[in-house]
Protein backbone atom coordinates (compact mmCIF):
# COMPACT_ATOMS: atom_id res chain seq x y z
CA UNK A 1 0.00 0.00 0.00
CA UNK A 2 1.28 3.46 -0.89
CA UNK A 3 2.27 5.42 2.22
CA UNK A 4 1.86 9.13 2.92
CA UNK A 5 5.64 9.80 2.91
CA UNK A 6 5.87 8.03 -0.46
CA UNK A 7 3.21 10.35 -1.89
CA UNK A 8 4.79 13.51 -0.46
CA UNK A 9 8.27 12.73 -1.81
CA UNK A 10 7.15 12.78 -5.42
CA UNK A 11 3.96 14.89 -5.27
CA UNK A 12 5.96 17.98 -4.38
CA UNK A 13 7.29 17.89 -7.94
CA UNK A 14 3.71 17.95 -9.22
CA UNK A 15 3.00 20.99 -7.07
CA UNK A 16 6.30 22.69 -7.97
CA UNK A 17 7.74 21.17 -11.17
CA UNK A 18 10.48 23.79 -11.29
CA UNK A 19 11.92 22.39 -8.05
CA UNK A 20 14.03 19.98 -10.12
CA UNK A 21 16.16 22.84 -11.45
CA UNK A 22 17.02 23.88 -7.89
CA UNK A 23 18.48 20.45 -7.15
CA UNK A 24 21.43 21.02 -9.49
CA UNK A 25 23.96 21.48 -6.67
CA UNK A 26 22.52 18.58 -4.68
CA UNK A 27 22.66 16.20 -7.65
CA UNK A 28 25.91 17.44 -9.16
CA UNK A 29 24.14 17.99 -12.48
CA UNK A 30 24.47 21.07 -14.66
CA UNK A 31 21.06 21.83 -16.13
CA UNK A 32 20.04 24.36 -18.79
CA UNK A 33 17.58 27.05 -17.66
CA UNK A 34 14.10 25.57 -17.46
CA UNK A 35 11.18 27.49 -18.92
CA UNK A 36 8.16 25.30 -18.12
CA UNK A 37 7.05 21.86 -16.93
CA UNK A 38 3.95 19.87 -17.79
CA UNK A 39 2.64 16.85 -15.85
CA UNK A 40 2.08 13.79 -18.05
CA UNK A 41 0.16 10.60 -17.42
CA UNK A 42 1.95 8.27 -15.04
CA UNK A 43 0.34 5.17 -16.58
CA UNK A 44 2.87 3.11 -18.56
CA UNK A 45 0.56 0.15 -19.06
CA UNK A 46 0.86 -1.59 -22.41
CA UNK A 47 -1.85 -3.54 -24.26
CA UNK A 48 -0.71 -6.64 -22.39
CA UNK A 49 -2.34 -7.22 -18.96
CA UNK A 50 0.66 -5.80 -17.09
CA UNK A 51 0.21 -2.47 -15.35
CA UNK A 52 3.22 -0.22 -14.84
CA UNK A 53 3.07 3.24 -13.28
CA UNK A 54 5.70 5.78 -12.38
CA UNK A 55 5.11 8.03 -9.38
CA UNK A 56 5.38 11.37 -11.17
CA UNK A 57 6.19 12.14 -14.81
CA UNK A 58 6.92 15.65 -16.09
CA UNK A 59 7.76 17.05 -19.50
CA UNK A 60 10.32 19.77 -18.86
CA UNK A 61 10.97 22.57 -21.33
CA UNK A 62 14.36 24.26 -21.34
CA UNK A 63 15.41 27.61 -22.74
CA UNK A 64 18.02 26.39 -25.24
CA UNK A 65 18.41 22.61 -25.15
CA UNK A 66 14.89 21.41 -25.94
CA UNK A 67 12.49 19.36 -23.79
CA UNK A 68 13.16 16.25 -21.70
CA UNK A 69 11.12 13.91 -19.50
CA UNK A 70 11.63 13.69 -15.75
CA UNK A 71 10.53 10.59 -13.84
CA UNK A 72 10.29 11.14 -10.08
CA UNK A 73 10.20 7.98 -7.98
CA UNK A 74 9.70 8.00 -4.19
CA UNK A 75 11.60 5.11 -2.64
CA UNK A 76 11.01 4.23 1.01
CA UNK A 77 13.15 1.09 1.07
CA UNK A 78 15.26 -1.17 -1.11
CA UNK A 79 13.21 -2.97 -3.76
CA UNK A 80 14.97 -5.52 -5.99
CA UNK A 81 12.12 -5.22 -8.49
CA UNK A 82 13.28 -1.72 -9.40
CA UNK A 83 16.37 -3.25 -11.02
CA UNK A 84 14.09 -4.25 -13.90
CA UNK A 85 11.33 -1.62 -13.73
CA UNK A 86 13.45 1.54 -13.69
CA UNK A 87 15.35 0.69 -16.92
CA UNK A 88 12.00 -0.24 -18.44
CA UNK A 89 10.47 3.12 -17.51
CA UNK A 90 13.37 5.00 -19.10
CA UNK A 91 13.50 3.02 -22.34
CA UNK A 92 9.70 2.87 -22.72
CA UNK A 93 9.27 6.60 -22.28
CA UNK A 94 12.20 7.41 -24.55
CA UNK A 95 10.63 5.21 -27.24
CA UNK A 96 7.12 6.66 -26.70
CA UNK A 97 7.98 10.36 -26.62
CA UNK A 98 11.33 10.36 -28.47
CA UNK A 99 12.77 12.62 -25.78
CA UNK A 100 15.70 12.34 -23.36
CA UNK A 101 14.65 10.85 -20.02
CA UNK A 102 16.02 11.51 -16.54
CA UNK A 103 15.15 9.39 -13.50
CA UNK A 104 15.14 11.09 -10.09
CA UNK A 105 14.73 8.99 -6.95
CA UNK A 106 13.79 10.65 -3.62
CA UNK A 107 14.73 8.79 -0.41
CA UNK A 108 14.47 9.37 3.33
CA UNK A 109 17.33 7.19 4.59
CA UNK A 110 21.00 6.79 3.70
CA UNK A 111 20.93 3.05 2.99
CA UNK A 112 18.10 3.32 0.48
CA UNK A 113 19.72 6.33 -1.17
CA UNK A 114 23.03 4.48 -1.61
CA UNK A 115 21.21 1.48 -3.06
CA UNK A 116 19.14 3.60 -5.44
CA UNK A 117 22.19 5.45 -6.77
CA UNK A 118 23.81 2.30 -8.23
CA UNK A 119 23.90 2.14 -12.05
CA UNK A 120 21.49 -0.51 -13.36
CA UNK A 121 22.90 -2.44 -16.31
CA UNK A 122 21.34 -4.80 -18.82
CA UNK A 123 23.74 -6.99 -20.73
CA UNK A 124 26.99 -8.74 -19.91
CA UNK A 125 29.46 -7.47 -17.30
CA UNK A 126 32.08 -6.89 -19.96
CA UNK A 127 29.58 -5.21 -22.31
CA UNK A 128 26.52 -3.50 -20.77
CA UNK A 129 23.89 -2.98 -23.46
CA UNK A 130 21.77 -0.50 -21.48
CA UNK A 131 22.81 1.41 -18.36
CA UNK A 132 20.33 3.37 -16.23
CA UNK A 133 21.88 5.88 -13.83
CA UNK A 134 19.31 7.30 -11.39
CA UNK A 135 19.78 10.70 -9.84
CA UNK A 136 19.16 10.46 -6.10
CA UNK A 137 18.15 13.13 -3.57
CA UNK A 138 18.00 12.21 0.09
CA UNK A 139 19.46 12.87 3.54
CA UNK A 140 22.98 12.33 2.17
CA UNK A 141 22.90 15.38 -0.10
CA UNK A 142 19.83 17.51 0.68
CA UNK A 143 20.66 20.64 2.70
CA UNK A 144 19.49 20.85 6.32
CA UNK A 145 17.63 24.15 6.33
CA UNK A 146 17.31 25.74 9.77
CA UNK A 147 17.55 29.37 8.62
CA UNK A 148 14.16 31.04 8.17
CA UNK A 149 15.36 33.43 5.45
CA UNK A 150 16.83 30.54 3.50
CA UNK A 151 13.60 28.57 3.82
CA UNK A 152 11.50 31.54 2.67
CA UNK A 153 13.74 31.99 -0.37
CA UNK A 154 12.68 28.59 -1.73
CA UNK A 155 9.74 27.02 0.11
CA UNK A 156 9.56 24.02 -2.23
CA UNK A 157 13.21 23.10 -1.71
CA UNK A 158 12.87 23.64 2.05
CA UNK A 159 9.79 21.41 2.10
CA UNK A 160 11.56 18.62 0.24
CA UNK A 161 14.49 19.03 2.62
CA UNK A 162 12.17 18.63 5.64
CA UNK A 163 10.66 15.48 4.09
CA UNK A 164 13.98 13.85 3.23
CA UNK A 165 15.36 14.67 6.71
CA UNK A 166 12.34 13.22 8.52
CA UNK A 167 14.62 10.95 10.57
CA UNK A 168 17.28 13.60 11.23
CA UNK A 169 17.98 14.15 14.97
CA UNK A 170 17.57 17.90 14.30
CA UNK A 171 14.19 17.50 12.61
CA UNK A 172 12.48 19.59 15.32
CA UNK A 173 14.63 22.59 14.37
CA UNK A 174 13.97 21.97 10.68
CA UNK A 175 10.22 21.87 11.23
CA UNK A 176 10.22 24.96 13.46
CA UNK A 177 12.08 26.82 10.72
CA UNK A 178 9.43 25.78 8.20
CA UNK A 179 6.52 26.80 10.42
CA UNK A 180 8.02 30.26 10.94
CA UNK A 181 8.84 30.61 7.23
CA UNK A 182 5.26 29.73 6.30
CA UNK A 183 3.68 31.98 8.93
CA UNK A 184 3.77 35.11 6.76
CA UNK A 185 3.12 33.26 3.49
CA UNK A 186 -0.30 33.60 1.82
CA UNK A 187 -2.42 30.61 2.75
CA UNK A 188 -3.01 29.57 -0.86
CA UNK A 189 0.75 29.23 -1.34
CA UNK A 190 1.57 27.73 2.05
CA UNK A 191 -1.22 25.15 2.26
CA UNK A 192 0.30 22.56 -0.14
CA UNK A 193 3.61 22.70 1.73
CA UNK A 194 1.90 22.30 5.12
CA UNK A 195 0.07 19.21 3.85
CA UNK A 196 3.10 17.72 2.05
CA UNK A 197 5.26 17.94 5.17
CA UNK A 198 2.51 16.26 7.20
CA UNK A 199 2.34 13.48 4.60
CA UNK A 200 6.09 13.17 4.35
CA UNK A 201 6.57 12.66 8.10
CA UNK A 202 4.13 9.73 8.08
CA UNK A 203 3.74 8.20 11.53
CA UNK A 204 7.13 9.29 12.84
CA UNK A 205 7.31 11.10 16.20
CA UNK A 206 8.16 14.28 14.27
CA UNK A 207 4.68 14.19 12.72
CA UNK A 208 3.12 15.19 16.05
CA UNK A 209 5.70 17.96 16.42
CA UNK A 210 4.63 19.32 13.03
CA UNK A 211 0.95 19.13 14.00
CA UNK A 212 1.71 21.08 17.17
CA UNK A 213 3.57 23.73 15.21
CA UNK A 214 0.72 24.04 12.71
CA UNK A 215 -1.74 24.40 15.57
CA UNK A 216 0.27 27.24 17.14
CA UNK A 217 2.26 29.03 14.41
CA UNK A 218 -0.25 28.47 11.60
CA UNK A 219 -3.43 28.48 13.68
CA UNK A 220 -5.16 30.91 11.30
CA UNK A 221 -4.96 28.52 8.35
CA UNK A 222 -8.08 26.69 7.21
CA UNK A 223 -6.39 23.76 5.50
CA UNK A 224 -7.68 20.21 6.08
CA UNK A 225 -4.71 19.52 8.36
CA UNK A 226 -5.23 22.60 10.52
CA UNK A 227 -8.97 21.88 10.79
CA UNK A 228 -8.21 18.31 11.81
CA UNK A 229 -5.78 19.53 14.46
CA UNK A 230 -8.39 21.96 15.83
CA UNK A 231 -10.93 19.13 16.01
CA UNK A 232 -8.37 17.04 17.90
CA UNK A 233 -7.77 19.91 20.31
CA UNK A 234 -11.49 20.37 20.96
CA UNK A 235 -11.92 16.63 21.50
CA UNK A 236 -8.99 16.43 23.90
CA UNK A 237 -10.29 19.40 25.91
CA UNK A 238 -13.78 17.91 26.23
CA UNK A 239 -12.41 14.51 27.18
CA UNK A 240 -10.46 16.11 30.03
CA UNK A 241 -13.60 18.03 31.10
CA UNK A 242 -15.67 14.82 31.25
CA UNK A 243 -13.15 13.19 33.57
CA UNK A 244 -12.77 16.34 35.69
CA UNK A 245 -16.54 16.65 36.24
CA UNK A 246 -16.82 13.00 37.27
CA UNK A 247 -13.87 13.35 39.61
CA UNK A 248 -15.17 16.60 41.12
CA UNK A 249 -18.49 14.88 41.91
CA UNK A 250 -16.65 12.12 43.74
CA UNK A 251 -17.58 9.44 41.20
CA UNK A 252 -15.03 6.69 40.78
CA UNK A 253 -13.85 6.59 37.16
CA UNK A 254 -13.15 3.05 35.99
CA UNK A 255 -10.19 2.29 33.75
CA UNK A 256 -12.60 1.26 30.99
CA UNK A 257 -14.41 4.59 31.18
CA UNK A 258 -11.18 6.59 31.23
CA UNK A 259 -9.81 4.69 28.20
CA UNK A 260 -13.02 5.11 26.21
CA UNK A 261 -13.27 8.83 26.95
CA UNK A 262 -9.64 9.64 26.16
CA UNK A 263 -9.73 7.59 22.97
CA UNK A 264 -12.81 9.39 21.61
CA UNK A 265 -12.13 11.98 18.91
CA UNK A 266 -15.73 13.01 18.28
CA UNK A 267 -16.32 16.45 19.90
CA UNK A 268 -20.12 16.16 19.67
CA UNK A 269 -20.20 12.74 21.36
CA UNK A 270 -17.89 14.02 24.08
CA UNK A 271 -20.22 17.01 24.59
CA UNK A 272 -23.10 14.60 25.28
CA UNK A 273 -20.96 12.62 27.71
CA UNK A 274 -20.00 15.87 29.45
CA UNK A 275 -23.69 16.79 29.95
CA UNK A 276 -24.42 13.34 31.41
CA UNK A 277 -21.35 13.53 33.67
CA UNK A 278 -23.14 16.22 35.67
CA UNK A 279 -25.94 13.87 36.78
CA UNK A 280 -24.88 10.20 36.58
CA UNK A 281 -24.22 8.09 39.68
CA UNK A 282 -21.65 5.80 38.03
CA UNK A 283 -19.00 6.68 35.46
CA UNK A 284 -20.11 4.07 32.91
CA UNK A 285 -23.60 5.64 32.83
CA UNK A 286 -22.33 8.52 30.68
CA UNK A 287 -22.33 6.12 27.71
CA UNK A 288 -26.00 5.23 28.10
CA UNK A 289 -28.21 7.03 25.59
CA UNK A 290 -31.32 8.86 26.80
CA UNK A 291 -34.44 9.65 24.75
CA UNK A 292 -33.16 13.20 24.18
CA UNK A 293 -30.01 11.82 22.54
CA UNK A 294 -31.93 10.08 19.78
* Per-residue pLDDT tens over the stretch 8-39: 888 888 888 888 888 888 888 887 888 888 88
Band of residue 231 on the pLDDT scale cut at 50, 70, 90: low
Whether residue 112 is predicted with pLDDT greater than 90 in this model: the reply is yes
For residues 198 and 166, give the distance between their C-alpha atoms in angstroms, rounded to a whole number. Answer: 10
Average pLDDT of the chain is 86
CA distance between the termini of the chain: 39
What are the residues whose beta carbons fall under 8 Å from the beta carbon of 247, sequence distance 6 or more?
A: 253
Q: What's the rounded Cα separation, in Å, for the pair 92 and 85?
A: 10
Global pTM reads: 0.69
Band of pLDDT at residue 109, cut at 50, 70 and 90? very high
Label residue 139 by pLDDT band (50, 70, 90): very high
Q: pLDDT, tens digit, for every residue of 151-184?
A: 999 999 999 999 999 999 999 999 999 999 998 8
Kindly state the helix (H) or strand (E) to which residue 136 belongs, with its residue range: strand 135-137
Q: Which residue has the higher pLDDT, 134 or 231?
A: 134
* Predicted pLDDT at 271: 81
- Going by DSSP bridges, is the β-strand pair 101-107/34-39 parallel, antiparallel, or unpaired? unpaired
Non-local CB neighbours of 233 within 8 Å, separated by 6+ positions: 215
Amino acid sequence: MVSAPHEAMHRIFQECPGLFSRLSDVLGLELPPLTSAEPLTVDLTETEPLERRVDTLLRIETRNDGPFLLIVEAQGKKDPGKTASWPYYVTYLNNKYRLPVLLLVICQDHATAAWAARPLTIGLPQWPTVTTRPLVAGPHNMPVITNVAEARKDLALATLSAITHADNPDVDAILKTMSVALRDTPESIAEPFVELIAQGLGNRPAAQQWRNLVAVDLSFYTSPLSEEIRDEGRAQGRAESVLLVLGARGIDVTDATRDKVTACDDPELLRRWLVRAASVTGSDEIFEETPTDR
